[in-house]
Amino acid sequence: MTALRAFLTAIARALLLLLAVSAMVFVATELLPGDAAGARASNGATVEQVAALRAETGQDRPAWQRYTAWLGSLATGRLGTSLVNDRPVADAISQRLPASTALVVLALAFAGPLILVIGCWAGAGSRTRGTRTAVVTGLAAVPQVVLAAVLSALFAGALGWLPPVSLLPPGGSPLESPHLLILPVLSVALPTVVFGAGLLAGAVADTVRRPHAVDSRLRGTPTVLFFARDVVPFLLTPLARVVAISAGGLIAAATVVETLFGYPGLGSLLVTSVSARDTPVVQAVAMAAAAVVLGGLLLADVIAVLADPRRAPRPKRRAPRYLGVQP
């Protein structure tokens, strides 16, 4: 019963957070200079023409009215239409969702185990820990665009093993041509690995200092067994949280990779809509990414309850500690 109640509370909390995110994204889009009517109007349009366009698309109403109207239609399952090209937002999203989902799922499937391994490597060394985390942090600083360009130059250019662009057949599934996915997936997965490993290293360091782990080491447990039995079970929750946060980032922020490889995902949709101030589309993509993060964190909480090696009831707490990393 405690688990069920904790779960319901977590769901309610996630929904509230989602609402807060939607309001923040809306306000941020509002604060940008210009609006969708200005972006839609051609360069020579007069002030009156732009105003007419604004009225036609309902953008002349006050911000709070537009926000509540958007919330209302969302509650009935409608994402609205684009302010720039009048198309249903659901169309644009559903076209890109499979490509983004494939990219994110494959990247995380690749990154998850590596995060665990590298996180353990970086966090467990007692004397070399500083150096190891510095290496991970340094790698995390390599911009994604550089990594993608290097991977492409190496595997598509010099070696010629993989195509330099990843155009999906129209209307087809991304899984139809798996070789097209390798470069985009690697380009987003590798930064995720170093980012995640850097975060996990702290949790690893905490775990190896726990009494049971210290005991186990003193008894001379072989390294592999030591990690598998005494460390990794404690890392599942923080790992799930790291993966959840990465997933949200990958959905909305794979723009560089999408552009470089011509791979049509949600990231470029978000960037284009932000620059056109196309609020309904911005909101929809941001909501999708936030829902993935919050859903993943929820899952992490469930894992925390179910997979806690001590099977202890979950301690009560008010604020979620998303990374589970103790100072």
User: Which window, 83-91, 135-143, 216-224, 315-323, contacts another protein (CB under 8 A)?
Assistant: 83-91
- Verify binding: residue 50, another protein, rule CB under 8 A: yes
- Verify binding: residue 46, another protein, rule CB under 8 A: yes
User: What size, in residues, is the chain?
Assistant: 327
- Verify binding: residue 306, another protein, rule CB under 8 A: yes
Find out whether 151 and 183 touch, Cβ atoms under 8 Å: yes
User: Closest approach of Cβ 223 to another protein, in Å?
Assistant: 31
- Verify binding: residue 6, another protein, rule CB under 8 A: no
Beta carbon nearer to another protein, 23 or 28: 28
User: Which window, 63-71, 166-174, 233-241, 316-324, contacts another protein (CB under 8 A)?
Assistant: 166-174
Instruction: Read off the tokens for 287.
Output: 């909501």
Helix (H) or strand (E) holding 86: none
- Verify binding: residue 175, another protein, rule CB under 8 A: yes
User: Closest approach of Cβ 274 to another protein, in Å?
Assistant: 8
Beta bridge partners of 322: none
Choose which of 171, 211, 220, 315 interacts with another protein (CB under 8 A): 171
Count helices and strands in the chain by DSSP H and E runs: 14, 0
- The DSSP letter of residue 40 is H
Give dist(CA 240, CA 300) in Å, integer. 5
User: In the chain, what is the straight-line distance between the N-terminal and C-terminal CA atoms, in Å?
Assistant: 31
Find out whether 263 and 257 touch, Cβ atoms under 8 Å: yes
For residue 173, how far is the Cα from the chain centroid? 21
Q: Which residues of the shown chain bind another protein in the complex (CB under 8 A)? A: 7, 33-34, 38-46, 49-50, 52-53, 81, 84-88, 91-92, 95-96, 98, 101-102, 105, 156, 163-165, 167-176, 259-262, 264, 268-269, 271-273, 275-276, 281, 295, 299, 302, 306
